[in-house]
């Protein structure tokens, strides 16, 4: 009588089989793949392939079958003992699913791909380019194409990569744990660019968390979908070498900077095509020549990092390492920046290291603990924006933010980062009441860890990218924002002058009859104008949330509103500090900005609106032509008041001077009264030649110009030994070149 086939006995105990099959095992790499048999005799190979009908092990050296695997347990765990041979050899699986045969390379056959240096630098907070190996990167390992996934989740019991390639089954591709650094990784053969994925994380209590997007993901699904996307390595061929070689000089403090700020999703849309966005490629074709024609030197983009909610305008990002897919791919964004550079335009982007949203697929409680944020809501929760605040004291978070800054500069040739909401980062009690915040270790209100992080980023950017600008949106009087770190400052190059913006807008909103009582709102900015290096911002923040447009803020009838706006913009362009204007301001958008629609481009058909546009072109041309208007923006040596005390008539006059002593005289008459014969003191003899007047008829003004050169008389006025009689147009700013005697 024939003997019954002997039942296969697994080398694993029931508990281990159950833990692997149910995704509960703490070290999957120690079980799956090829290992020495527990008996010490031969080898054993194991695979978890749920719902497989049969699995064979195939030698990649010979192409021959090494045997059919035995299924152990009931959930697709397979095992095959092998005779002793070399400890490592090439193999793959031949798997039958639903009657179809597939060939798979075992992800657990791939050894460690990370270095100890990577673990060390990341944990130390000094890895400037962690993005090069964290996240998802297509690789070829041992001749096999696939993707290497790396994620930081130190408190997790298990981390798996899930996607359509494994039916979103978290048991299939459990990652390798690196307990010393908290980093998990796995190389998954066959996963190619274009694959959607997320991380399935089991926390320290054994609870499965909502699926998480990749913190270092370089691509995402189109919102509102939230999966990360494996992206190919860059294929764009940069053509901006001329710009990059000259950038450091172009962006020096003594150069003109005039910035056009915009929101990519609402600058211009295609209403005839469902009101769709323009793509990065279309923006390169339409936006770049438009901005260039206006004479701006730079474009500043509101955040382009991927974000889930349109209404946040990008200020609540989830994909810090991914240009938003709303407008195209990463290579198409590279093309856009490249086209800007080839046209001679620099590109700044808004960078948001101050907070992140609470969306469950994002960074919040990423591994079941407060990993990127503080545990205590008094430190980790932002009440104004319902967002979470980074834990800047955690070194791995510093590596995350530092490498993110480098990512945009490395990968996209970005020329400057405008850092959003710096004030909220600097103060522990920002927007908090007594008892709602925790003092620092010295008992103070300054966030010492955030300060150290900002200093580190600014120093490392400055060292690695000479000429790249770091710009702070900082709304308080925190000292030394633009002072070098080694002198005790934060190390930014520029700071937005929010005080100037608030004061001058408040002045301009007043009826001219009352301006005589508030002239200090125009002049106070010069008290501190050189205490920091300033950008004068008329940004998106001034035309949203019921504030109305710049035009609608101006008092008077329609003519006076336009005249006031022309005067205000001209005042800004002739005032010390670099310039920034939000889109729509260049043609006097009438309605408040709406991120869901295009700007009102039809307004340019109206002469008054076209006049504002023409004036902006001329202001930028004037700025470029006369170094006195920009060369000493950050030095008191470039500015003198000529007349500051004529409050009754709301008239001001000042001098701008370049490093060689060449000067322009600027006048501002901020009432509708025309002064045909107005004397102002000047510091030297010669003549005044009017080079700009915001009251030009072609701008929509009354055309009260100084058509002829004006001789400077040796007559004392306003404490000066010389003076000149000029005509002051109503509600106008005028710029005169001061020509020396030959």
543 in Cβ contact with 582 (< 8 Å): yes
CB-based burial, 327-357: b 16+ in 10 Å, e otherwise: bbbbbbbbbbbbbbbbeebbbbbbbbbbbbb
Q: Name the E strands within 446-528.
A: 469-472, 494-496
| Residue spans per domain, the chain | 14-109, 116-229, 631-739
Tokens of 712: 């400077």
Q: Can 473 be counted among the known catalytic residues?
A: yes
pLDDT at 1: 45
CATH topology of domain 14-109: Immunoglobulin-like (2.60.40)
**Helices first, then strands: H and E counts in the chain:** 14, 38
Catalytically annotated residue among 420, 449, 532, 658: 420
pLDDT at 70: 95
**Domain spanning 116-229: which CATH class is it, in words?**
mainly beta
Which of 520, 535, 573 has its CA nearest to residue 693?
573
Strands 144-152 and 70-72: unpaired
3-state secondary structure of 633: coil
Q: What is the mean pLDDT of residues 620-628?
A: 98
Q: Do domains 14-109 and 631-739 have the same CATH topology?
A: yes
Q: What is the mean pLDDT of residues 205-228?
A: 97
pLDDT at 317: 96
Instruction: Tell me how far the alpha carbon of residue 463 is from its chain's centroid.
Output: 20
Which of 35, 38, 59 has its CA nearest to residue 46?
35
573 by Cβ neighbours in 10 Å (0-12 / 13-18 / 19+) ranks as buried
651 in Cβ contact with 677 (< 8 Å): no
pLDDT in tens, 100-135: 999 999 999 999 999 999 999 999 999 999 999 999
Q: What is the mean pLDDT of residues 80-96?
A: 84
> Is the sign of the CA dihedral 281, 282, 283, 287 positive or negative?
positive
Q: Can 285 be counted among the known catalytic residues?
A: no
More confident residue, 75 or 295: 295
Residues, the chain, total? 742
CB-based burial, 645-659: b 16+ in 10 Å, e otherwise: ebeebbbbbbbbbbe
Assign 513 a pLDDT band (cuts: 50, 70, 90). very high
Which of 455, 520, 457, 528 has its CA nearest to residue 498?
528
String of DSSP letters for 21-79: HTT--S-GGGTSEEEE-TTSSSEEEEEE-TT-SEEEEEETTT--EEEEPEEETTTTEEE
pLDDT at 5: 64
253 in Cβ contact with 627 (< 8 Å): no
Which of 243, 464, 472 has its CA nearest to residue 347?
243
pLDDT at 592: 97
Which of 246, 265, 414, 276 has its CA nearest to residue 344?
246
CATH number, domain 631-739: 2.60.40.1180
Rounded CA-CA distance 318/601 in Å is 32
Rounded CA-CA distance 623/618 in Å is 8
Catalytically annotated residue among 79, 411, 473, 586: 473
Instruction: Tell me how far the alpha carbon of residue 634 is from its chain's centroid.
Output: 25
Instruction: Tell me how far the alpha carbon of residue 159 is from its chain's centroid.
Output: 29
Q: What is the mean pLDDT of residues 577-591?
A: 98
Helices (H), ranges, 38-192: 116-124
pTM: predicted TM-score of the whole model, two decimal places: 0.95
251 in Cβ contact with 257 (< 8 Å): yes
pLDDT in tens, 378-429: 999 999 999 999 999 999 999 999 999 999 999 999 999 999 999 999 999 9
3-state secondary structure of 599: coil
Residue 307 has pLDDT above 70, yes or no: yes
261 in Cβ contact with 312 (< 8 Å): no
Rounded CA-CA distance 317/356 in Å is 6
3-state secondary structure of 310: helix
Rounded CA-CA distance 384/714 in Å is 59
Kind and range of the H or E run holding 144: strand 144-152
pLDDT at 3: 56
With a CB cutoff of 8 Å and minimum separation 6, the contacts of 510 are 518, 555
Rounded CA-CA distance 672/512 in Å is 8
> Is the sign of the CA dihedral 276, 277, 280, 281 positive or negative?
positive
CB-based burial, 358-393: b 16+ in 10 Å, e otherwise: bbebbbbbbbbebbbbbeeeebbbbeebebbbbbbb
Helices (H), ranges, 97-166: 116-124
pLDDT in tens, 631-675: 999 999 999 999 999 999 999 999 999 999 999 999 999 999 999
Q: Which 8-state DSSP code applies to residue 403?
A: H
Assign 214 a pLDDT band (cuts: 50, 70, 90). very high
Rounded CA-CA distance 311/266 in Å is 12
Tokens of 615: 């004036």
pLDDT at 413: 98
pLDDT in tens, 272-291: 999 999 999 999 999 999 99
Measured CA to CA in angstroms, residue 167 lies from 31, 171, 448, 734 at distances of 22, 10, 46, 69
pLDDT at 9: 87
Rounded CA-CA distance 285/276 in Å is 16
536 in Cβ contact with 579 (< 8 Å): yes
Which of 447, 469, 450 has its CA nearest to residue 458?
469
Q: Name the E strands within 314-359.
A: 319-323, 346-351, 356-357
pLDDT at 88: 66
pLDDT in tens, 668-697: 999 999 999 999 999 999 999 999 999 999
Rounded CA-CA distance 328/122 in Å is 31
């Amino acid at each position: 009588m024939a003997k019954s086939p002997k039942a296969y006995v697994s080398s694993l105990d029931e508990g281990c089989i159950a833990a692997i099959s149910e995704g509960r095992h703490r070290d999957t790499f120690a079980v799956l793949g090829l290992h020495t048999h527990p008996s010490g005799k031969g080898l054993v190979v194991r695979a978890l392939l749920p719902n497989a009908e049969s699995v064979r092990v195939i030698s990649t050296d010979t192409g021959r079958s090494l045997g059919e695997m035995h299924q152990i347990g009931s959930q697709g765990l397979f095992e095959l003992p092998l005779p002793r041979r070399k400890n490592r050899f090439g193999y793959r699986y031949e798997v039958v699913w639903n009657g179809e045969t597939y060939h798979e390379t075992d992800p657990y056959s791939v050894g460690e791909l990370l270095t100890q240096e990577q673990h060390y630098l990341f944990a130390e907070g000094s890895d400037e380019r962690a993005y090069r190996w964290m996240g998802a990167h297509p690789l070829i390992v041992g001749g096999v194409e696939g993707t290497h996934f790396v994620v930081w989740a130190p408190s997790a019991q298990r981390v798996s990569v899930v996607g359509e390639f494994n039916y979103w089954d978290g048991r299939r591709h459990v990652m390798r744990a690196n307990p010393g650094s908290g980093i998990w990784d796995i190389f998954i053969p066959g996963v190619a660019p274009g694959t959607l994925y997320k991380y399935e994380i089991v926390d320290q209590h054994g609870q499965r968390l909502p699926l998480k997007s990749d913190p270092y993901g370089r691509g995402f699904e189109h919102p509102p979908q939230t999966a990360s996307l494996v992206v190919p390595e860059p294929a764009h061929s940069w053509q901006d070498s001329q710009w990059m070689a000259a950038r450091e000089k172009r962006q020096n403090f003594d150069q003109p900077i005039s910035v056009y700020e915009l929101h990519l999703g609402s600058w211009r849309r295609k209403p005839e095509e469902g009101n769709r966005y323009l793509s990065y490629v279309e923006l390169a074709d339409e936006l770049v020549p438009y901005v260039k024609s206006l004479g701006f030197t730079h474009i500043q983009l509101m955040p382009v990092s991927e974000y889930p909610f349109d209404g946040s305008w990008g200020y609540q990002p989830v994909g810090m390492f991914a240009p938003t897919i709303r407008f195209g791919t990463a290579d198409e964004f590279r093309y856009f920046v490249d086209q800007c550079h080839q046209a001679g335009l620099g590109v700044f982007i808004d960078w948001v290291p101050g907070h992140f949203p609470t969306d469950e697929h994002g960074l919040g409680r990423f591994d079941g603990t407060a990993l990127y944020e503080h545990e205590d809501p008094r430190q980790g929760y932002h009440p104004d924006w319902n967002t979470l605040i980074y834990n800047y004291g955690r070194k791995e978070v510093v590596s995350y933010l530092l490498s993110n800054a480098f990512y945009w500069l490395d990968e996209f040739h970005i020329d400057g980062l405008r850092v959003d909401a710096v004030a909220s980062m600097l103060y522990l009690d920002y927007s908090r009441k007594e008892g709602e915040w925790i003092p620092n270790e010295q008992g103070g209100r300054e966030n010492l860890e955030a300060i150290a992080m900002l200093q580190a980023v600014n120093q490392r950017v400055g060292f690695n990218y000479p000429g790249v600008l770091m710009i702070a949106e900082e709304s308080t009087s925190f000292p030394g924002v633009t002072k070098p770190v080694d002198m005790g400052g934060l190390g930014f190059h520029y700071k937005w002058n929010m005080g100037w913006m608030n004061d001058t807008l408040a002045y301009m909103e007043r009826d001219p009859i009352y301006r005589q009582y508030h002239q200090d709102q125009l002049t106070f900015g010069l008290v501190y104008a050189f205490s920091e290096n300033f950008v004068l911002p008329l940004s998106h923040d001034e035309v949203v949330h019921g504030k109305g447009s710049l035009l609608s803020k101006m008092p008077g009838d329609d003519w006076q509103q336009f005249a006031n706006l022309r005067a205000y913009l001209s005042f800004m362009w002739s005032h010390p500090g670099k310039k920034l204007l939000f889109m729509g301001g260049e043609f006097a958008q009438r309605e408040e900005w709406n991120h869901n629609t295009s700007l009102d481009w039809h307004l340019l058909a109206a002469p008054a609106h076209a006049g504002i546009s023409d004036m902006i072109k001329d202001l930028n041309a004037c700025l470029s032509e006369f170094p006195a208007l920009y060369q000493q923006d950050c030095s008191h040596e470039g500015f003198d008041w000529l007349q500051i005390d004529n409050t009754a008539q709301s008239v001001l006059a000042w001098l701008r001077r370049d490093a060689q002593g060449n000067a322009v005289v600027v006048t501002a008459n901020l009432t509708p009264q025309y002064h045909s014969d107005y004397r102002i003191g000047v510091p030297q003899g010669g003549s005044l030649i009017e080079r700009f007047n915001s009251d030009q008829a072609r701008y929509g003004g009354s055309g009260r110009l100084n058509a002829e050169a004006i001789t400077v008389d040796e007559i004392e006025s306003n404490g000066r030994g010389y003076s000149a009689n000029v005509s002051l147009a109503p509600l106008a700013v005028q710029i005169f070149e001061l020509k020396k005697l030959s």
